[in-house]
Structure 1
């Protein structure tokens, strides 16, 4: 009988560390999100074909994302998008998108193993991010619909605000930097659990 390989997320076993954070800061991993890099001319027929497959329009403005019922499309650069979903397997999304855009000069490739996703929530979530991020995090500037590529501490991330109050963020980070960033976020959050004497 052959052994079965079981995939482990980059932050497998970190639940205990995350549970020790103060009440005003919550950190969890959202592992195994399907992620596909999509290159397509947004103005051409390939853009429409990709949107039809995904059930969501592709964003037209830099540093934005559009969330649909089943998928989210994140603008990474001119004619480059990151598609994320939890409802379909990576291979399925890759094949569907590749079939739709290849005839129009586009490409799609599964990059799901490249990144993991952290969810940072709580009344001090924005304060934690501000310790290591140079962009303006105020919800009037960075609110729902934004998706910025930036540095958080020493890790390159895609930062997606999920509410208009600065209390809920999704952070996409390369798997090789996931442990470093998780440690940094835990350390940055510690002060919010200190009770003044």
Structure 2
């Protein structure tokens, strides 16, 4: 499926500008993955065109997209959850790292970024996790969300305010709180809801 520039931009921001699987911030090189895999004939035509639609496309980093390949989501999840065994069985350096306490294994179930995202509150921001002094939230074009004491305006490719009451709270890809704003960054401004005011 050939995407327009606007469609690609929309898919990229579907889960906060992050890979829908691992949650890494997407850079310039990312891929649109088919959540439900498609299969192609020898001539390149799609065998199941009902899945070659924009609603089935997920933003993915190149590592996740390549590793998921044409697997179903649940098959790939099981493959990932079996990684510890494969490493123990086939990689001597990994076994040494285990022996000397350099690696700590987990048996946790794999939960993909988009699954965590979908469990978050459906407003623009989760105000219960944002410091009480922040009165406005807005997300810049690069996916960075900022909290403001006063209402900011768009200046260039970001939200700004000329006073010193500028951004006091930032959300980036490495924070525990996920910026779950979706859509056009120019529509991301939100005032703290009254029920969430201190």
Name whichever structure is richer in strand by fraction.
1
TM-score range, shorter chain: under 0.3
> What TM-score results when the alignment is normalised by the length of structure 1?
0.27
Q: Normalising by structure 2, what TM-score? A: 0.27
Return the index of the structure with the highest Cα Rg: 2
* Greater relative CO (CA pairs within 8 A, separation 6+): 1
